[in-house]
Chain A
Amino acid sequence: MKGLKSRQLPLTIGLILATIFVVLPLGSAAEFSLREPLKNTHGFDNYVWFFEAPDFAKYLGISFGLALASALILLVILVPTVVWLNLGGSKFRGLVEFISLLPLVIPVVALAIGAQTALPDFAQTNEVILAFMYAVLAVPYAYRTMDTGLRSIPLQTIVEAARGLGADWLAVLFKVIIPVIRSTVLSALFMTLALSLGEFTITSLLHWDTFTTWVTTMSQSNILGAIALSVFSLVSVFVLLLVISVFIKPTKSLIISEEN
C-alpha cells in the first residue's frame, strides 16, 4: 500500500493545482461580482440589478435556445458519421478528423465575415444561423468525444450481434448506440452551452443579439453587474456538469485491466 500512495501523490498534487487554477479566477470573479462599492459591503445587488433588467430572461432564453439547437444539430450530424466510421468506414477516418479540426484552427473572425457574404439572406433574416455556426465551432470537441466514446466498445461486434438477434437499425441506434454515448452527448450539450454563453465574435459580426452581446452592452453601464452575469453563467454550467457527472456511469478504459 505504500507504493500505491506514492504513485497517487503526483496526481493528487496535480489535481489540487489544477483545481486552484480553475477555481481561483472563477471564485475571484464571484467575489468581485458580489461587491457593492456604494454600500461598502458585499451583497447580491449586482445580480439583482441584472435579473431585474428588462431583457434578461429574453436574452438568456435566446442563448439557451441556441445552445440546445446547436447541440441538436451536432448530434444529428455527428452521430451517424461517427457510428459509420466505427462500423466499417474507418478508411475515411483521417479525412473526417482533419475536417473536424478545421474549425478549431481557422480564425473565427474569418468564418464570421465569410458567413455574412456567403449566406447573406439566411444570415440576415434568421437567428438560427447562429445555431449552425456555433455547431461548426463545437465540431472539433464534439467529434472527438463521441469518437473516443464509441471506440471504447467493440461496436461492430455488438451491432452485428444485435442485428443477428433481429433488431432493426432504429432499435440498434436506441438500444445499443445511444446508451454508450449518453455521457458524451451530455458533455457535448454542456460544451455548446458554454460556447453559446461565451460566443461573441460571430454573433456581433453578424449583428445578432444574444445573452453575450447583451451583457457586453450592459457592461458599459455596470461592469460589476456584467461580471456577475458572466460568473453566473459559467458557474451554473459547471454545477450542472458536476451534478450530472455524478450520475453517469463512466465508459470503461480502453486498456482492460489484467485478470488476476
Chain B
Amino acid sequence: MSLEESALVDALRRGDEDAFARLVEEHHPSLRRVARLYVANTAIVDEVVQDTWLGVIRGIWAFEGRSSLKTWIFRILVNRARTRAVRESRDARSLGPEEPLPFSDSSDLGHWVQPSPDPDPSPEQALLTKELRGRLATVIDTLPPNMKIVLWLRDVEGWSSDDVCNALAIQETNQRVLLHRARSRAQEALEPYLEGARGAARRG
C-alpha cells in the first residue's frame, strides 16, 4: 500500500468524513455506470452502489492493501452486482420495465452524455454523433458479461490493464482476449463511420 493510500485508510478507520466524501466523489459516478452493466433498473443500481459503499465502510478494517483501494471498491461492486443480477433474472416479473443503458435511448443522451461543443472537430469528434453512440450502446448491451465489463473498464472508464485484472480477479492474457473480442465487435458496428473517417484518420 502506498503511503498516501495507507493514510487514507487510517483516516477512514478513524471516521474522517471529509476523506470519505472525497472517496465517494471520486468513485460514485463510475460505480453507478458500472453497476448499470449488470442491472438495468435504476433503483436497483442505486441499491447495489449503496451496498458497495456499506461494504467499504465496514470492510475497511479488514482491508490490507493487497490491491489498490480503487480496485477493491470495484471488486465489492462487481460481486454485489453479480449476485443481485442473478436474483433479478430469477425474479424478473417483480420488476418494472427494464431501463436501457445510459445512452442507448436518445432521450437519455442529454442527461448522461453531453458532447462538448468544439469549434474545430477532430476526426474522433466527427464520429460522435448520437447515432454512433446508439450503435456503440447496442453493441455493449449485447456483449457477454465478461467482455462487457472488460471493455467498459478499459475503454470507457480508461483503466489500466493491471487495474482491470485486479478488480475482476482475472489473468492478463484472459483480459486481453476479452478486450480484443469486444473491441472487434465495437469496431464492426462502427465500420460505416470508420470508412468515412479513414481519410481524416490517415491525414491526422
Q: A and B: partners?
A: no
Q: A-side interface residues toward B, CB under 8 Å?
A: none
